Amino acid sequence: MTLNSSGRKRPNILITGTPGTGKTTTAAALAEVTELRHINVGDFANEENLTNGWDDTFDCYYINEDLVCDALENLMEEGGNIVDHHACDFFPECCFDCVVVLQTNSSVLHERFTKRYSYQLILTFLFVCISSIALLNMSRLFDCPRGYSDHKLATNSECQIFQVLLDKVKENYPDDILVILRSDFLEDITKNVETLTSWISNLSPAV
Ligand code: ADP
Ligand code: MN
């Protein structure tokens, strides 16, 4: 893989995958090692108020894709970004030098969502103490630590199984910048960060 003729000194990388596959964990770790800029698109859109209201079905904000693209234009032209987002079809093809699709076995993914961690139970308890509203949500939090609805879980699993996202990536980006990486276990994160770091170092020796 080589940098395209865009003139960027450092590469732009998209890390995509269905929710829970480890995009944010991987992107944050990669950013730390490479000193590239981690852009979590959902957080960015929320911070900059580039959203179109709340999506009750999927428990997240609708992102105003055009506004997000405009807001990120200069940074993307400059290069050196790790863009972390579950959707892959609203950035133009020329934005990225590498598109990473993380994939997790669907039963591992389901377990990841529903696993109970003691610290999450403690947080839930504190939350219940300080907010009566939390009482209404408690059963959902116990069932699903990330607060994902059954509908979202089901849809995420289906997405994973039918590889909807991968098909979309293939529609939007050329094969030669596409990298599919497994993200089933913690060791995979380390391995993936190493793989991507060495790819980035080969492209830009300064990193
Ligand atoms: P995403 O950004 O794709 O929604 P996150 O990075 O937020 O996913 O990870 C979701 C949860 O799964 C976190 O608790 C994280 O620690 C865990 N996780 C992510 N990737 C892995 C992995 N490869 N192995 C084990 N746990 C993982
Ligand atoms: Mn994330």
ipTM of the complex as predicted: 0.99
pLDDT tens across 80-98, in order? 999 999 888 888 888 999 9
- Tell how far the Cα of 5 is from the centroid of ligand 2, in angstroms: 30
Does residue 12 have its Cβ closer than 6 Å to ligand 1? Answer: no
Closest CA to 157 of 87, 107, 89: 107
Does residue 115 have its Cβ closer than 6 Å to ligand 1? Answer: no
Is the pLDDT at 7 greater than 80, yes or no?
no
- For residue 43, the ligand closest to its alpha carbon is 2
Q: Residue 176 burial by CB count (10 A; 0-12/13-18/19+): exposed, middle or buried?
A: exposed
Instruction: State the pLDDT at residue 19.
Output: 87
Nearest CA to ligand 1 atom 18: 22
- Dihedral angle sign, alpha carbons of residues 172, 16, 115, 140: negative
Beta carbons of 84 and 21 less than 8 angstroms apart: no
- Tell how far the Cα of 22 is from the centroid of ligand 1, in angstroms: 4
Is the pLDDT at 101 greater than 90, yes or no?
yes
Nearest CA to ligand 1 atom 21: 22
Closest CA to 90 of 126, 44, 159, 24: 44
179 or 137: which leads in pLDDT? 179
Q: What is the mean pLDDT of the chain?
A: 83
Is the pLDDT at 147 greater than 90, yes or no?
no
Q: For tokens 């105003």, what's the residue?
A: 64
Nearest CA to ligand 1 atom 14: 112
- Dihedral angle sign, alpha carbons of residues 130, 133, 135, 137: negative
Is the pLDDT at 5 greater than 70, yes or no?
no
